[in-house]
Amino acid sequence: MHVELSVVVPVYNEEDVLPLLVERLRPVLDGLSTPYEVVAVDDGSTDASPVLMQRIRHEWPQFRVVRLRANAGHQAAISAGLALARGDYMVTIDADLQDPPEVVEQMLQIARSERVDVVYGVRSDRSTDTAFKRGTARAFYATMRALAKTEAPMDAGDFRLMSRATVDAVNALPEHHRVLRLVVPALGFPSAKVTYRREERAAGSSKYPLSKMIRLSLDSLTSHSMAPLRLATWFGLIGGVFAMLIFAYALWSSFTDRAVAGWTSTVAAVSSVGAVQLICLGLLGEYVGRMYTMMQGRPTYFVAHDTDDLHLHDVAGS
Ligand code: UDP
Ligand code: MG
Protein backbone atom coordinates (compact mmCIF):
# COMPACT_ATOMS: atom_id res chain seq x y z
CA MET A 1 0.00 0.00 0.00
CA HIS A 2 1.27 3.44 -0.88
CA VAL A 3 1.57 5.70 2.13
CA GLU A 4 1.59 9.43 1.55
CA LEU A 5 1.94 10.62 5.12
CA SER A 6 3.65 9.01 8.10
CA VAL A 7 3.14 10.48 11.53
CA VAL A 8 5.95 9.47 13.89
CA VAL A 9 5.09 9.65 17.59
CA PRO A 10 7.66 8.88 20.31
CA VAL A 11 5.96 7.41 23.36
CA TYR A 12 7.58 7.01 26.76
CA ASN A 13 5.33 6.11 29.68
CA GLU A 14 2.32 7.93 28.25
CA GLU A 15 -0.51 5.71 29.47
CA ASP A 16 -2.55 8.76 30.50
CA VAL A 17 -2.12 10.47 27.16
CA LEU A 18 -2.55 7.70 24.61
CA PRO A 19 -6.37 7.52 24.63
CA LEU A 20 -6.55 11.30 24.27
CA LEU A 21 -4.02 11.21 21.47
CA VAL A 22 -6.07 8.74 19.47
CA GLU A 23 -9.21 10.75 20.09
CA ARG A 24 -7.66 13.89 18.64
CA LEU A 25 -5.22 12.62 16.05
CA ARG A 26 -7.43 10.08 14.32
CA PRO A 27 -10.19 12.45 13.09
CA VAL A 28 -7.56 14.83 11.71
CA LEU A 29 -5.74 12.11 9.79
CA ASP A 30 -8.95 10.41 8.59
CA GLY A 31 -10.13 13.79 7.35
CA LEU A 32 -7.06 14.31 5.13
CA SER A 33 -8.31 11.88 2.43
CA THR A 34 -4.68 10.85 2.03
CA PRO A 35 -3.27 7.37 2.66
CA TYR A 36 -1.43 7.65 5.96
CA GLU A 37 0.12 5.64 8.76
CA VAL A 38 1.01 6.39 12.34
CA VAL A 39 4.33 5.03 13.54
CA ALA A 40 4.22 5.00 17.32
CA VAL A 41 7.64 4.33 18.81
CA ASP A 42 7.44 2.88 22.28
CA ASP A 43 10.67 4.09 23.82
CA GLY A 44 10.98 1.29 26.38
CA SER A 45 7.92 2.31 28.41
CA THR A 46 7.53 0.64 31.78
CA ASP A 47 3.86 1.54 32.36
CA ALA A 48 0.74 0.34 30.57
CA SER A 49 1.61 2.15 27.31
CA PRO A 50 2.68 -1.03 25.42
CA VAL A 51 -0.60 -2.77 26.28
CA LEU A 52 -2.62 0.29 25.33
CA MET A 53 -0.78 0.59 22.04
CA GLN A 54 -1.54 -2.99 21.13
CA ARG A 55 -5.19 -2.30 21.86
CA ILE A 56 -5.15 0.84 19.70
CA ARG A 57 -3.49 -1.11 16.90
CA HIS A 58 -6.42 -3.51 16.73
CA GLU A 59 -8.94 -0.74 16.39
CA TRP A 60 -6.98 1.53 14.11
CA PRO A 61 -5.43 -0.30 11.14
CA GLN A 62 -3.11 2.57 10.20
CA PHE A 63 -1.54 2.58 13.68
CA ARG A 64 1.81 0.76 13.66
CA VAL A 65 3.89 0.13 16.75
CA VAL A 66 7.66 -0.09 17.02
CA ARG A 67 8.93 -1.15 20.40
CA LEU A 68 12.44 -0.26 21.51
CA ARG A 69 13.88 -2.69 24.00
CA ALA A 70 15.08 -0.01 26.37
CA ASN A 71 14.62 3.70 26.84
CA ALA A 72 16.82 5.24 24.16
CA GLY A 73 15.65 8.83 24.51
CA HIS A 74 13.37 11.15 22.60
CA GLN A 75 15.73 11.82 19.68
CA ALA A 76 16.68 8.18 19.22
CA ALA A 77 13.01 7.18 19.33
CA ILE A 78 12.18 9.65 16.57
CA SER A 79 15.16 8.41 14.55
CA ALA A 80 13.88 4.84 14.85
CA GLY A 81 10.44 5.94 13.69
CA LEU A 82 11.85 7.82 10.71
CA ALA A 83 13.90 4.80 9.69
CA LEU A 84 10.82 2.58 9.62
CA ALA A 85 8.17 4.97 8.31
CA ARG A 86 7.17 4.59 4.67
CA GLY A 87 5.47 7.85 3.79
CA ASP A 88 6.34 10.41 1.12
CA TYR A 89 6.01 12.97 3.87
CA MET A 90 6.67 12.44 7.56
CA VAL A 91 5.59 14.48 10.51
CA THR A 92 7.16 14.03 13.94
CA ILE A 93 4.88 14.98 16.78
CA ASP A 94 4.91 14.62 20.58
CA ALA A 95 2.47 12.17 22.13
CA ASP A 96 1.30 14.57 24.84
CA LEU A 97 -0.74 16.79 22.47
CA GLN A 98 1.44 19.83 23.13
CA ASP A 99 1.80 19.94 19.36
CA PRO A 100 -1.78 20.27 18.04
CA PRO A 101 -2.56 17.51 15.50
CA GLU A 102 -4.68 19.93 13.44
CA VAL A 103 -1.46 21.70 12.36
CA VAL A 104 -0.39 18.53 10.52
CA GLU A 105 -2.93 19.31 7.82
CA GLN A 106 -1.55 22.83 7.45
CA MET A 107 2.00 21.49 7.21
CA LEU A 108 1.03 19.08 4.45
CA GLN A 109 -0.73 21.84 2.53
CA ILE A 110 2.27 24.15 2.77
CA ALA A 111 4.67 21.39 1.72
CA ARG A 112 2.56 20.64 -1.35
CA SER A 113 1.68 24.16 -2.41
CA GLU A 114 5.06 25.77 -1.74
CA ARG A 115 6.96 22.68 -2.87
CA VAL A 116 9.27 22.71 0.13
CA ASP A 117 10.91 19.69 1.75
CA VAL A 118 10.68 20.80 5.36
CA VAL A 119 7.97 22.63 7.27
CA TYR A 120 9.05 23.66 10.77
CA GLY A 121 6.49 24.00 13.50
CA VAL A 122 7.47 27.19 15.32
CA ARG A 123 5.98 27.95 18.72
CA SER A 124 4.37 31.35 18.64
CA ASP A 125 3.44 31.24 22.27
CA ARG A 126 5.07 29.20 24.98
CA SER A 127 3.07 30.52 27.89
CA THR A 128 1.94 26.99 28.69
CA ASP A 129 5.55 25.95 29.28
CA THR A 130 7.02 26.61 32.71
CA ALA A 131 9.19 29.69 33.21
CA PHE A 132 12.12 27.34 33.80
CA LYS A 133 11.56 25.56 30.48
CA ARG A 134 11.25 28.87 28.64
CA GLY A 135 14.37 30.29 30.25
CA THR A 136 16.51 27.24 29.57
CA ALA A 137 15.17 27.01 26.01
CA ARG A 138 16.07 30.64 25.33
CA ALA A 139 19.58 30.10 26.70
CA PHE A 140 19.91 26.92 24.63
CA TYR A 141 18.95 28.53 21.32
CA ALA A 142 21.03 31.66 22.01
CA THR A 143 24.13 29.57 22.78
CA MET A 144 23.65 27.37 19.74
CA ARG A 145 23.19 30.44 17.52
CA ALA A 146 26.37 32.03 18.86
CA LEU A 147 28.58 28.94 18.75
CA ALA A 148 27.24 26.74 16.01
CA LYS A 149 26.22 29.14 13.21
CA THR A 150 23.10 27.06 12.86
CA GLU A 151 20.20 27.94 10.61
CA ALA A 152 17.78 26.33 13.05
CA PRO A 153 14.74 28.53 13.54
CA MET A 154 14.24 29.79 17.10
CA ASP A 155 11.57 28.02 19.10
CA ALA A 156 11.23 25.16 16.67
CA GLY A 157 11.21 21.86 18.51
CA ASP A 158 10.64 18.47 16.95
CA PHE A 159 7.20 19.14 15.52
CA ARG A 160 8.04 19.27 11.83
CA LEU A 161 7.20 17.85 8.45
CA MET A 162 9.90 16.35 6.27
CA SER A 163 9.86 15.02 2.72
CA ARG A 164 11.07 11.55 1.82
CA ALA A 165 14.28 13.09 0.41
CA THR A 166 14.98 14.85 3.69
CA VAL A 167 14.36 11.77 5.79
CA ASP A 168 16.54 9.66 3.50
CA ALA A 169 19.31 12.20 3.96
CA VAL A 170 18.83 12.13 7.74
CA ASN A 171 18.81 8.34 7.84
CA ALA A 172 22.01 8.23 5.80
CA LEU A 173 23.94 10.25 8.36
CA PRO A 174 26.26 8.03 10.41
CA GLU A 175 25.94 10.19 13.54
CA HIS A 176 24.76 8.50 16.73
CA HIS A 177 23.67 11.36 18.93
CA ARG A 178 21.58 13.17 16.38
CA VAL A 179 19.83 16.29 17.51
CA LEU A 180 17.26 16.42 14.76
CA ARG A 181 16.21 20.01 15.22
CA LEU A 182 19.80 21.01 14.34
CA VAL A 183 20.63 18.26 11.86
CA VAL A 184 17.63 18.91 9.60
CA PRO A 185 18.39 22.61 9.05
CA ALA A 186 22.04 21.69 8.45
CA LEU A 187 20.97 19.56 5.47
CA GLY A 188 19.77 22.71 3.74
CA PHE A 189 16.54 21.52 2.12
CA PRO A 190 14.07 24.22 1.04
CA SER A 191 11.87 24.95 4.02
CA ALA A 192 8.90 26.90 5.31
CA LYS A 193 7.51 27.58 8.75
CA VAL A 194 4.14 27.34 10.35
CA THR A 195 3.54 28.94 13.72
CA TYR A 196 1.34 27.30 16.30
CA ARG A 197 0.37 27.74 19.87
CA ARG A 198 2.05 25.25 22.18
CA GLU A 199 -0.64 23.68 24.26
CA GLU A 200 -0.68 22.35 27.78
CA ARG A 201 0.38 18.72 28.22
CA ALA A 202 -2.90 16.79 27.88
CA ALA A 203 -2.22 14.44 30.80
CA GLY A 204 0.61 12.90 32.77
CA SER A 205 3.89 14.64 33.51
CA SER A 206 6.93 15.64 31.50
CA LYS A 207 9.30 12.84 30.49
CA TYR A 208 12.12 15.33 30.12
CA PRO A 209 13.84 15.70 33.49
CA LEU A 210 16.78 18.08 33.87
CA SER A 211 19.25 15.26 33.27
CA LYS A 212 17.78 14.61 29.81
CA MET A 213 17.73 18.33 29.03
CA ILE A 214 21.43 18.56 29.89
CA ARG A 215 22.14 15.50 27.77
CA LEU A 216 20.37 17.12 24.79
CA SER A 217 22.29 20.38 25.26
CA LEU A 218 25.63 18.57 25.45
CA ASP A 219 24.80 16.51 22.36
CA SER A 220 23.82 19.69 20.54
CA LEU A 221 26.94 21.56 21.53
CA THR A 222 29.44 18.81 20.82
CA SER A 223 27.89 17.71 17.54
CA HIS A 224 27.27 21.15 16.10
CA SER A 225 30.11 23.24 17.39
CA MET A 226 33.89 22.97 17.47
CA ALA A 227 33.99 25.72 20.10
CA PRO A 228 34.79 23.46 23.10
CA LEU A 229 37.55 21.73 21.16
CA ARG A 230 38.89 25.07 19.89
CA LEU A 231 39.02 26.23 23.49
CA ALA A 232 41.31 23.29 24.26
CA THR A 233 43.48 24.21 21.30
CA TRP A 234 43.83 27.78 22.53
CA PHE A 235 44.57 26.69 26.09
CA GLY A 236 47.24 24.38 24.70
CA LEU A 237 48.85 27.08 22.56
CA ILE A 238 48.72 29.79 25.22
CA GLY A 239 49.99 27.37 27.89
CA GLY A 240 52.75 26.31 25.53
CA VAL A 241 53.89 29.91 24.95
CA PHE A 242 53.94 30.49 28.72
CA ALA A 243 56.02 27.40 29.27
CA MET A 244 58.50 28.64 26.67
CA LEU A 245 58.76 32.00 28.43
CA ILE A 246 59.47 30.25 31.73
CA PHE A 247 62.10 28.17 29.97
CA ALA A 248 63.74 31.35 28.65
CA TYR A 249 63.63 32.97 32.09
CA ALA A 250 65.20 29.93 33.72
CA LEU A 251 68.03 30.00 31.17
CA TRP A 252 68.55 33.70 31.63
CA SER A 253 68.66 33.48 35.42
CA SER A 254 71.32 30.74 35.29
CA PHE A 255 73.63 33.26 33.58
CA THR A 256 72.89 36.01 36.05
CA ASP A 257 73.72 34.08 39.20
CA ARG A 258 70.20 34.52 40.56
CA ALA A 259 69.24 30.91 40.54
CA VAL A 260 69.75 28.32 43.24
CA ALA A 261 71.98 25.53 41.97
CA GLY A 262 69.91 22.92 40.13
CA TRP A 263 66.86 25.16 39.67
CA THR A 264 67.53 26.04 36.05
CA SER A 265 67.87 22.52 34.79
CA THR A 266 64.72 21.37 36.62
CA VAL A 267 62.53 24.24 35.44
CA ALA A 268 63.95 24.09 31.94
CA ALA A 269 63.15 20.40 31.64
CA VAL A 270 59.64 20.72 33.02
CA SER A 271 58.67 23.78 31.02
CA SER A 272 60.11 22.66 27.69
CA VAL A 273 58.41 19.30 27.89
CA GLY A 274 55.21 21.04 28.98
CA ALA A 275 55.38 23.46 26.07
CA VAL A 276 55.87 20.72 23.52
CA GLN A 277 53.05 18.66 25.00
CA LEU A 278 50.56 21.49 25.17
CA ILE A 279 51.22 22.69 21.64
CA CYS A 280 51.01 19.14 20.28
CA LEU A 281 47.77 18.59 22.16
CA GLY A 282 46.33 21.69 20.54
CA LEU A 283 47.42 20.52 17.10
CA LEU A 284 46.00 17.09 17.77
CA GLY A 285 42.71 18.71 18.74
CA GLU A 286 42.51 20.39 15.35
CA TYR A 287 42.96 17.10 13.52
CA VAL A 288 40.50 15.29 15.77
CA GLY A 289 37.99 18.05 15.06
CA ARG A 290 38.44 17.64 11.33
CA MET A 291 38.04 13.87 11.55
CA TYR A 292 34.92 14.37 13.59
CA THR A 293 33.26 16.69 11.07
CA MET A 294 34.23 14.33 8.26
CA MET A 295 32.70 11.40 10.08
CA GLN A 296 29.49 13.31 10.60
CA GLY A 297 29.28 13.44 6.81
CA ARG A 298 27.02 16.44 6.54
CA PRO A 299 26.92 18.22 3.20
CA THR A 300 29.37 21.08 2.74
CA TYR A 301 27.24 22.72 0.02
CA PHE A 302 23.84 22.27 -1.56
CA VAL A 303 23.12 22.25 -5.28
CA ALA A 304 19.60 23.46 -6.01
CA HIS A 305 17.62 21.52 -8.58
CA ASP A 306 16.95 24.48 -10.84
CA THR A 307 20.61 24.98 -11.72
CA ASP A 308 20.99 21.94 -13.95
CA ASP A 309 21.16 24.09 -17.09
CA LEU A 310 24.74 24.84 -16.10
CA HIS A 311 26.78 22.33 -18.07
CA LEU A 312 30.44 21.52 -17.84
CA HIS A 313 31.36 23.44 -20.99
CA ASP A 314 29.90 26.57 -19.40
CA VAL A 315 32.29 26.17 -16.53
CA ALA A 316 35.17 25.62 -18.90
CA GLY A 317 34.22 28.87 -20.61
CA SER A 318 33.75 27.49 -24.12
N1 UDP B 1 9.88 10.85 25.07
C2 UDP B 1 10.51 9.69 24.62
N3 UDP B 1 11.60 9.23 25.30
C4 UDP B 1 12.11 9.88 26.39
C5 UDP B 1 11.48 11.08 26.81
C6 UDP B 1 10.37 11.54 26.14
O7 UDP B 1 10.08 9.08 23.64
O8 UDP B 1 13.08 9.39 26.95
C9 UDP B 1 8.69 11.35 24.34
C10 UDP B 1 7.47 11.63 25.18
O11 UDP B 1 6.67 10.48 25.35
C12 UDP B 1 6.77 12.71 24.37
C13 UDP B 1 7.93 13.46 23.72
O14 UDP B 1 9.05 12.59 23.76
O15 UDP B 1 5.98 12.16 23.32
C16 UDP B 1 8.23 14.76 24.43
O17 UDP B 1 8.43 14.52 25.81
P18 UDP B 1 7.79 15.45 26.93
O19 UDP B 1 6.45 15.93 26.51
O20 UDP B 1 7.84 14.73 28.23
O21 UDP B 1 8.81 16.65 26.96
P22 UDP B 1 8.48 18.19 27.29
O23 UDP B 1 7.31 18.59 26.45
O24 UDP B 1 8.20 18.23 28.74
O25 UDP B 1 9.73 18.90 26.88
MG1 MG C 1 5.58 17.68 26.24
* Homologous superfamily in CATH for domain 5-207: Spore Coat Polysaccharide Biosynthesis Protein SpsA; Chain A (3.90.550.10)
The letter for the amino acid at 45 is S
Mean pLDDT of 209-232: 89
pLDDT band at residue 216 using 50, 70 and 90 as cut-offs? very high
Q: Which helix (H) or strand (E) holds 123?
A: strand 118-125
Q: What is the pLDDT of residue 306?
A: 63
Q: 49 CA to middle of ligand 2, Å? A: 16
Q: What is the pLDDT of residue 82?
A: 96
Q: Which helix (H) or strand (E) holds 288?
A: helix 263-296
Q: 222 CA to middle of ligand 2, Å? A: 24
Q: Delimit the domains of the chain by residue range.
A: 5-207, 220-296
Chain segment 49-98, per-residue pLDDT in tens: 999 999 999 999 999 999 999 999 999 999 999 999 999 999 999 999 99
Q: What is the pLDDT of residue 310?
A: 57
Q: 93 CA to middle of ligand 1, Å? A: 10
- Indicate if ligand 1 lies below 6 Å from the C-beta of 77: yes
- Indicate if ligand 1 lies below 6 Å from the C-beta of 219: no
Helix axes 263-296, 227-255, angle to 10 degrees: 160
Mean pLDDT of 199-224: 91
d(CA 185, CA 140): 16
Contact 40, 4 (CB under 8 A): no
Q: Is the ipTM of this complex over 0.95?
A: yes
- Indicate if ligand 1 lies below 6 Å from the C-beta of 40: no
Contact 40, 66 (CB under 8 A): yes
Report the atom number in ligand 1 closest to the C-alpha of 206.
Answer: 20
- Indicate if ligand 1 lies below 6 Å from the C-beta of 129: no
* Closest to 201 in 3D by CA, of 92, 104, 94: 94
- Indicate if ligand 1 lies below 6 Å from the C-beta of 157: no
- Indicate if ligand 1 lies below 6 Å from the C-beta of 208: yes
Mean pLDDT of the chain: 89
**Higher-confidence position of 211 and 230:** 211
Total Cβ atoms within 10 A of residue 230: 15
Q: Express the helix, strand and coil content of the chain in percent, nearest 5 each.
A: 55, 15, 30
Mean pLDDT of 11-21: 97
Chain segment 128-183, per-residue pLDDT in tens: 888 888 898 888 888 888 888 777 888 889 999 999 999 999 999 988 888 999 99
